[in-house]
Structure 1
Amino acid sequence: MAQKKMGRPKSDNPLKDRIFVLVSDETKAQLNKCTEVLNTTRSDVVRKGIKRIYDDLEK
């Protein structure tokens, strides 16, 4: 009987694309403040911001 592979389970919506962004010191500080207050990662803050703007456009 074949053993199951160890590791992270496959995601329904894998995060496979990278986006690089140039920001000012002020924007970087704002992003870092958001990560501290929300206790999350920079990537999550950016994703939430994109989702919020997208949802506003759909209204």
Structure 2
Amino acid sequence: MSSKKIGRPPSDKPKSQTIEIRVDQEIMSKLDAAADKLNTSRSAIVRKGIEKVFDELQK
């Protein structure tokens, strides 16, 4: 028999850090709307926002 593991392959950049934030209902609604429109997760939207702010600061 093959000794291959079943499941996802290991990630090159594993996401092992967790951030917990408090937001009001308006921000949560905007986050959910953006995630729905882009067909992605809340986490992906937050990561994209952090990258965008960081890139703007580098200019």
Please report the TM-score for the alignment, with normalisation by the length of structure 2.
0.90
Q: How many residues align?
A: 59
Alpha-carbon distance in structure 1 between the residues aligned to 2:18 and 2:58? 25
CA RMSD of aligned residues (A): 1.3
In the TM superposition, residue 37 of structure 1 has moved relative to its aligned partner by: 1.0
Alpha-carbon distance in structure 2 between the residues aligned to 1:3 and 1:36? 39
Alpha-carbon distance in structure 1 between the residues aligned to 2:53 and 2:14? 22
Q: What is the aligned partner in structure 2 of residue 8 from structure 1?
A: 8
Segments ≥4 residues shifted beyond 4 Å = none
Paired AA for residue 28 in structure 2? K
Where does the alignment leave 5 or more consecutive residues of structure 1 unmatched? none
In the TM superposition, residue 8 of structure 1 has moved relative to its aligned partner by: 1.2
Q: What is the aligned partner in structure 2 of residue 28 from structure 1?
A: 28
Please report the TM-score for the alignment, with normalisation by the length of structure 1.
0.90
Sequence identity percentage: 44
Alpha-carbon distance in structure 2 between the residues aligned to 1:4 and 1:37? 37
Where does the alignment leave 5 or more consecutive residues of structure 2 unmatched? none
In the TM superposition, residue 42 of structure 1 has moved relative to its aligned partner by: 0.2
